[in-house]
Structure 1
Amino acid sequence: MHVAHLSLHDFRSYATVEVPLEAGVTSFIGRNGQGKTNLVEAIDYLSRLSSHRVATDAPLVRHGAEQAVVRAAVVKEGRTAVLEVELNPGRANRARVNKATLPRTRDLVGLVRTVIFSPEDLTLVKGDPSDRRRFLDDLLVLRTPRIAGLRADYDRVLKQRNSLLKTMLGARRARRDDEYAASTLAVWDEQLAQHGSELLAARVALVDDLRPYVGKAYEAVARGASREDAEIEYVPTVPTDTGDLVTAFTDAIAARRKGELDRGLTLVGPHRDELALTLAPAGTATEKLPVKGYASHGESWSFALALRLASYDLLRSDGDDPILILDDVFAELDTERRAQLAELVAGAEQVLVTAAVPADVPAALAGARYVVAGGEVTRDA
C-alpha cells in the first residue's frame, strides 16, 4: 500500500498543494514551521480521522477558512482509490471514496493504514495512562475498523452516565431524593457494561497479540537488550479471568457504587484501565521495573520505538503493509538508534520522512526528496 498523490486544500498552512508520491522512501526537508509535518499529518489523518498533534479538528483548518480537504490517491494491490475527507469544524465532517460520499465519515478509517513515529511518542512511556489507552484504541481501529463505532458508543454512554452521577451527587448534597435518576442509572449501567466489556475484550486480545512483537522490537533497537527485557501488560478495572465479562463488569460497577455516588464519576471501565510497561534494568535477569519513572531517557525512547515497530509488524502480519511515517524522529535519536531504526524500516513499501536538514536522514533511507519552504513543496533534483 502506498500514497501516489496527495492534495490539500486549506489544511494547516496550505491554501492548496499537490504532491506526487511513489513507493519507497520520500523525505520532506525543511526548517521548523515550514509545513513539512503538515503533509504527513494529513496522510495519517486519513488513516485514523484524528491527528497525532492536536485533539480537535479546528487547528487543522487554515486560519480564515471554513473547511479543509485532504485527498489522496492510494494504491493497494495494483488498484488505485481516491480517498477524501472534508473537515468542517463545528459541523459534521464528510468522507468520500472515488467521489462517492460514505454514509458515515468513520467508514473511511482503515482504508489506508499508517504507523507514525514522532517526538510525541515519548508520551507513550512518560505520559498519562490516557496516552497509552489511545495508542491501543488507534491500533485496534486500524485492525478492526468497526471498533471506531464501539468506542464512540462507549464514550457516549460514559458521558451520559457521568452527567447523571453528577446530578445525583448534587441532589444528595441538597438532601433531595431523586428516584428517577436512580432508575435511569440502572439503564446506563447496563449499556456501559455491554459496550465496555466488548471494548475491554478487544484490548486484552490486542495486547496478547502485540506482546511478542514488542519484545522483538525492543531487542532490535536497544543496545545489548534481549526480547525478554521489555514487557507490556493490560491492567483492567474489571476482572477478565471470567467467562462472562458483562457480568463481571456489572459486578464491578456494583462494588464501586458508593465511591461513584460520592465522587459523581464513573470509576469502572476501559477509560480507567492502564497499559503497564515494564523493563528489566541493565544487568538484571529477572527483575522488571515500570518504564515510567525508572528507565533512562535512552531506554524510554527505545521502548517508545519498540511500541511503534511492534504496531507496524502486527499490521503487516494481518496481510497489509502500512505506510510508515517518520516525523522529525531522527533528530531525537543518537547515531546508533538512527541507524538501527532506518535499517528496520527501509524495506517498507512506503516510508515518509520529515527532517530539518538532509543530514538527519540516514543513508539507508535515501530516496526521493522534497524541499519544503515558504509554503512551497519542491522536488529536489
Structure 2
Amino acid sequence: MYLEHLSLTDFRSYAQVELALEPGVTVLVGSNGIGKTNLMEAIGYLATLSSHRVSSDGPLLRFGMDRALVRARLVRGGQTVVLELEINASRANRGRINRSNPVRARDLLGICQTVLFAPEDLALVKGDPANRRRFLDELLVSLVPHHSATRSDYDRVLKQRNALLKSARAGRFTAGHEATLDVWDQHMARAGAELLHARLELVDRLRPHLAKAYGQLTDGSKEADAVYRSTLQNLMDDGGAPELGAGGAKDVGDIGIGDKPAGSEDLLLLSVDELTERYVRAFQASRRKELERGISLVGPHRDELELVLGEAPAKGYASHGETWSMCLSLRLASYYVMLDDARTGGSAPILILDDVFAELDVQRRRKLAAIVSGAEQVLVTAAVDADIPEELSGRRVKVIPGGIDE
C-alpha cells in the first residue's frame, strides 16, 4: 500500500496544500517550524484518528477555522481508494470512502495503515504508563479496527462507574447505589476482559519482534523485552476467592506475560469469559478501597507495559542511546507485526520518520535507514539533507511556508 496524493484544507498551518507522492523513499526537506510535521501528522491522523503531538483535535484546525479536511488517495493491491476526513470543532468528525455518503470517522480505521516514528516517541520509555497503553491500543485498532469500539465501550463504562464511586465518596451512597454498582461491575468486567484479552495477544506477538528489532539497531549486548502487568488479581485461594492480606485485598498489579511468579496463572491462557469472572471477583475484593478513594482501581486503564532491557526496566535505567533504540524498536516491532498480517491478506504500512534522524547518532541512523529502506513507501522529514543517510536515497521535496516547492 502507498499514498499517491495528500490534500489538506485548513489543517494546522495550511490553508490549502497538495502533495503528490509515489512508492519508495520521499524526503521532505525544510527549515524547522515550516510545516513538515503537519503533513506527516495528517497522514498519521487519517490512519489512527489521533495525533502523535496533541491529545485533542482543536489544535489541528487552522486558527479561526471550525473544520479541517484531510483527503488521501491510496493504492492498495492495484486498486485506488479515496479517503476524506472532516475534523470538526463543534460536532463529531465524519469520513467518506470513495466519495460515498458520510460515515463515522472510525469507519475509516484500518484502510490507511502507518507506522510513525517521531521524537515524541521518547515518552514511550520515559513517560508514564498511559503512553504505553496508548501505543498498544492504537496498534491494536490499526490491526483490528473493531477494537476501536472495544476501547470506546470500556472508556464509557469506566466513566459511568467512576461517577458512581465519586458519589459514594461524597457521602451520597445508598443501598440502591450499591445495587447499581453491581450492575456496572458486570459491564466493566466484560468490557475490560475483552480489551485485556486483545492487549495480551498483541504483546505476545510483539515480544519476539521487539527483541529482533533491538538486536538489529544495537550491538546485541542486551536483549529487549516487554512485560504486560495487569491490575487484575489472579492470585486466588483454593475456594476461588481473592486472597486477603492485612489491608484487605492483595494488591493487584503484577502478573503478566514474561513474568510468571510460582503459582500464578498466565493471563494469556484465559478466555474472555474467564477474565470477566476474575474481574468481577477483583471488583468485589477492592470495593472498600474504591469507595474510599472514589475511583476504579482495577482494570486495563491502570495496567502497565513494562519495557525491559537486559535485566532491568528501561525506564530509569537505560542510557539516552538505549532509550532511543528501545523507542525505535517498538515502532519497528509494530511494522513487523503489520507485515505478518500483510502476508495473509493485509497491507504493508506506510513508514513515516518525522525528524527522527536529527536525534540519532551516525551508527543508529545508518542501521535504521537500512532496515526501513525496503518498505513499499517511506516518508521522511528533515531540516537538512545532511541528516538523511545514504541508504535512503530517493525523491526530495522542498517544503516552504504554506506549501510545497516542486
Q: Please give the alpha-carbon distance, in whole angstroms, between the structure 2 residues aligned to 1:177 and 1:204.
A: 35
Within-5 A mapping of 1:121-270: 121-171=121-171, 177-225=173-221, 229-238=223-232, 239=234, 240=267, 242=270, 244-270=274-300
User: What does residue 56 of structure 1 align with?
Assistant: 56
Please tell me the root mean square deviation across aligned C-alpha atoms, in Å.
Answer: 1.1
1:275 aligns with 2:271: no
SS at match of 1:31: coil
User: What does residue 318 of structure 1 align with?
Assistant: 341
Deviation, 1:90, is 2.4
SS at match of 2:348: coil
- On the 8 A contact 1:11/1:70 being kept in 2, the answer is yes
User: What does residue 324 of structure 2 align with?
Assistant: 301
- On the 8 A contact 2:167/2:173 being kept in 1, the answer is no
Q: Please give the alpha-carbon distance, in whole angstroms, between the structure 2 residues aligned to 1:33 and 1:13.
A: 10
Q: Which amino acid aligns with 1:142?
A: S
Q: Please give the alpha-carbon distance, in whole angstroms, between the structure 2 residues aligned to 1:71 and 1:273.
A: 36
- On the 8 A contact 2:125/2:307 being kept in 1, the answer is yes
Cα deviations by residue, 1:245-283 (Å, 9 ceiling, x for unpaired)? 110111111111111000000000000000011111xxx
User: What does residue 283 of structure 1 align with?
Assistant: none
Q: Please give the alpha-carbon distance, in whole angstroms, between the structure 2 residues aligned to 1:363 and 1:44.
A: 25
Q: Which amino acid aligns with 2:33?
A: G
Q: What TM-score, normalized to structure 2? A: 0.88
- On the 8 A contact 2:115/2:335 being kept in 1, the answer is yes
Deviation, 1:182, is 1.5
Deviation, 1:179, is 2.2
SS at match of 2:322: helix
Q: Which amino acid aligns with 2:31?
A: R
Which stretches of structure 1, 4 residues or more, deviate above 6 A after TM superposition?
Answer: none
Cα deviations by residue, 1:174-216 (Å, 9 ceiling, x for unpaired)? xx55222222111111110010000000000000011000000
Q: Which amino acid aligns with 2:305?
A: L
Q: Please give the alpha-carbon distance, in whole angstroms, between the structure 2 residues aligned to 1:312 and 1:31.
A: 28
Q: Please give the alpha-carbon distance, in whole angstroms, between the structure 2 residues aligned to 1:102 and 1:314.
A: 31
SS at match of 2:170: helix
Of the structure 1 ranges 40-49 and 243-252, higher mean CA displacement relative to structure 2 is found in 243-252
User: What does residue 14 of structure 2 align with?
Assistant: 14
Q: How many residues align?
A: 366
Q: Please give the alpha-carbon distance, in whole angstroms, between the structure 2 residues aligned to 1:98 and 1:331.
A: 38
Gaps of 5+ in 1: 281-287
Q: Which amino acid aligns with 1:62?
A: R
Q: Which amino acid aligns with 2:217?
A: V
Deviation, 1:104, is 2.1
Deviation, 1:341, is 0.2
- On the 8 A contact 2:125/2:326 being kept in 1, the answer is yes
Q: Please give the alpha-carbon distance, in whole angstroms, between the structure 1 residues aligned to 2:270 and 2:144.
A: 24
Gaps of 5+ in 2: 235-266
User: What does residue 119 of structure 2 align with?
Assistant: 119
